[in-house]
Chains A and B, each alone.
Chain A
Amino acid sequence: MMDLSSISPILLIASIMVSATPILLAAIGEMVVEKSGVLNLGVEGMMITGAVVGFALAVNTGSAVTGFAAAACASAALALVFGVLTQVTLSNQVATGLGLTLAGLGLSALIGKPYEGMKSPTLPKLDIPVLGDLPVLGRMLFAHDAMVYLSLLLVLAVWAFLKFTRAGLILRAVGESHHSAHALGYKVVVVRLCAIVFGGACAGLGGAYLSLVRVPQWTEGMTAGAGWIALAIVVFASWRAGRVLIGAYLFGGVTVLQLNLQAAGAGVPVALLSASPYVVTIIVLVVISARGVHGAPASLGRPFHASR
């Protein structure tokens, strides 16, 4: 017996938006990094660092906004370590990224010890006049906290930046062919460092959203793999900002949906549903590559040294 009438689509969509925000933030940042030709597998480490620093600062200053700012800075700093190692000393990106995750998990646990079991200030839900009072849509789309909208704006901004600005063009050029970009006089390393730092800041915001809004509390290891999902979303999106949004809402949505189905009394194959976004991602990858359009930036993961 299945009674799905108790699932309210309005609340479901509102939940998915909140649930997807951390992975959306991290994924849009990682997408910019990968667009510049760098693969940073350390998203998980940067997210959890953001989560703990954001929480700590929010508790100490009483302001969630300060927390978010600090989280972005801290994760950007961690990302810069990755940037210097991979871009200046030319270490392997895959290994360095994995190391970043290791270090981030350890560092966050040490920083977080005093903050376990505390409560932090959180972001208020915005009370948007007129829009918030709309029937159906008001509750579904216009009753969230500021970060939800910021994450959407960020997607829009990244899309516009890559598509319309000169700096965006340079970034993409660096990612497609670093040698050509270098030959044209662009500073490949500087461009990539900027992208890496931006990616770190976004991951930090995503982590802080977990610890300050979505959960909200600090516990060791609380990102529980969200950073890896963000990586999957970038691939799923075939490096397009709009699809990152779809991907994040889909990945977040599958979890929320299966929990809702269970809550409504439907028997669902949990393992199958949990694996489905990844299988879908692989299929998407195959489809894009079979069409001959390689979504991935051509220089992704390759080290660059000017003298070659």
Chain B
Amino acid sequence: MIRLEKRPQPSQAWTLATPVLAVGATMIAGGILFAVLGADPLVAIRTIFWDPLFNPQFAGFTRPQLLVKAAPLILIAIGLSIGFRAGVWNIGAEGQYIMGAVCGAAAGLALYPSESVLVFPLMILAGALGGWAWAMIPAVLKVRFGTNEILVSLMLVYVAENVLASVSSGLLRNPEGRGFPGSRNFRNWEAAHNAELIPGTGMHWGVVAAFIAVILAYVLMARHIQGFNIRLTGEAPRAARFAGVSPARIVLVCLGTAGLLAGLAGLFEVTGPAGQISIDFNSGYGFTAIIVAFLGRLHPVGILLAGLLMALTYIGGELAQLMLGLPGASIQLFQGMLLFFLLAMDVFTNYRLRLGRAEVA
């Protein structure tokens, strides 16, 4: 009989080894999948993991794109991870991301066509506030009434989606857009454009913000007393209360931070890579970021790497569709497998496998 025994501390060796093992297992399982679909498995795997980084034809473009694709995921995931550490389960980042983009865009469009240098900072502020305010709804309800934040934040995603659909065909619609839904294009408006800071690198303000968030989160969690309080609340809520940590405060701070960062991600995305508010503006970043947060084991550096890995499978998957004619669905399934393997192997980090009879409890 195989039995799991909790390690006193997560294993360092396994922490490093499991992602590698998981990627390896995914390559094997994915290879079989691609072979069944009639593609050369080795070529398919190479296209997904190697070509975005090193294929001479694409890499010059796709390498910076990894940053562009990963930045919002990392930014949102960092915010979520702080809450997850404290046992605050915000799964509505998608809604906060949407509201950040909508509020930021609305603030900007109200000033159109001003070319003032203050436009973009103002939009950033509005975007952050929008995401923050949307996250404050579950936070306040939790603190005031004890309402479950998982469910309220999830419900608010649907509400936000309806708000998005409504404003993109109403309030924020481009008056020169011939009646089509969707806002003005921020890229054609210098003052509000979140452009590449250094051409050809993919670095835009969102990427910068993501890196800053990683560093700040690292400092907060490893060095700062608030970080300690957050972790203590998650691991031993009663001890935290004895130590004078206010659980209400933790909830407000954690959800607030997550909402703020998700809102920022939305704003940077809408003014940069996406360019405009449209009905389909959100493409699930808020949910994918939850996956990224867990793949990164809620650690800032881990999240950075997980975000990049996720971005790699997206872009590599696109190249595989393009060059090998693999159906888009097979890439989705491949990503699902990668996730399953990573999650399943995680068990070795926290638990020891023991052979033998189970003790009687």
Interface, chain A (partner B; CB < 8 A): 39, 41, 81, 85, 89-92, 94-96, 98-100, 102-110, 113, 182-183, 220, 228, 231-232, 235, 271-272, 274-275, 278-279, 281-282, 285-286, 289-290, 292, 294, 296, 300-301, 305-308
Contact = CB atoms under 8 A, between A and B. Distances in A.
Contacts of A91: 343-344, 346-347
Closest 3 CB pairs of A and B: A103-B336, A106-B332, A106-B333
Most buried by A among B148, B155, B166, B339: B155
Interface stretch (B44-52, B120-128, B156-164, B252-260): B156-164
Nearest to B293: A95
B361 interface: yes
Contact of B351 (A39, A90, A271, A278): A90
A124 to B, nearest CB: 33
Contacts of B294: 92, 94-95
Most buried by B among A94, A182, A220: A94
Contacts of B146: 289-290, 292, 294
Contacts of A41: 91
Contacts of A85: 340, 343-344
A94 B333 contact: no
18 contacts: A85-B344, A90-B351, A91-B344, A91-B346, A92-B343, A96-B343, A98-B290, A103-B333, A106-B334, A106-B336, A110-B327, A231-B154, A271-B166, A275-B163, A285-B141, A289-B147, A296-B148, A307-B5
Contacts of A232: 154-155, 158
A106 B154 contact: no
A290 B145 contact: yes
A274 to B, nearest CB: 5
Interface string B14-42: 00000000000000000000000100000
B285 interface: no
B343 A271 contact: no
Interface in B124-177: 137, 141, 145-148, 150-152, 154-156, 158-159, 162-163, 165-166
Contact of A275 (B162, B331, B332): B162
Contacts of A281: 151, 155
Contact of A95 (B148, B156, B290): B290
A101 B152 CA distance: 20
For the complex, would chain A's binding face be called helix, strand, loop or mixed by DSSP majority? Answer: helix
Contacts of A106: 329-336
Interface residues of B, number: 51
A307 B340 contact: no
A296 B334 CA distance: 34
* Residue of A106, A232, A296 with most partner-chain B CB within 10 A: A106
A99 B339 CA distance: 6
A94 B361 contact: no
Given A106-B336, A182-B361, A89 B346 contact: yes
Nearest to B5: A307
B291 interface: yes
Given A103-B336, A271-B163, A285 B152 contact: yes
A307 B4 contact: yes
A98 B332 CA distance: 12
Contact of B290 (A39, A94, A103, A104): A94
A292 B163 CA distance: 31
Contacts of B147: 285-286, 289-290
A306 B89 contact: no
Interface string B319-361: 0000000011111111111011001111100110000000001
Nearest to A108: B329
A29 B184 CA distance: 44
B238 interface: no
B347 A89 contact: yes
B30 to A, nearest CB: 11
Contact of A271 (B37, B91, B165, B347): B165
Contacts of B361: 182-183, 306
B241 interface: no
A99 B340 contact: yes
Given A282-B155, A294-B146, A95 B329 contact: no
Contact of A99 (B4, B150, B152, B291): B291
B214 to A, nearest CB: 20
B335 A102 contact: yes
B91 A94 contact: yes
B344 A89 contact: yes
A231 B159 CA distance: 15
Contacts of B327: 109-110, 113
A99 B329 contact: no
A85 B341 CA distance: 9
Contact of B336 (A39, A100, A272, A294): A100
Given A95-B295, A96-B339, A99-B336, 20 more contacts: A85-B343, A91-B347, A95-B290, A95-B343, A98-B291, A100-B336, A102-B332, A102-B333, A109-B329, A109-B332, A110-B327, A235-B151, A271-B162, A278-B156, A279-B159, A281-B151, A282-B137, A289-B146, A294-B148, A305-B351
Contact of A235 (B155, B337, B345): B155
A305 B358 CA distance: 13
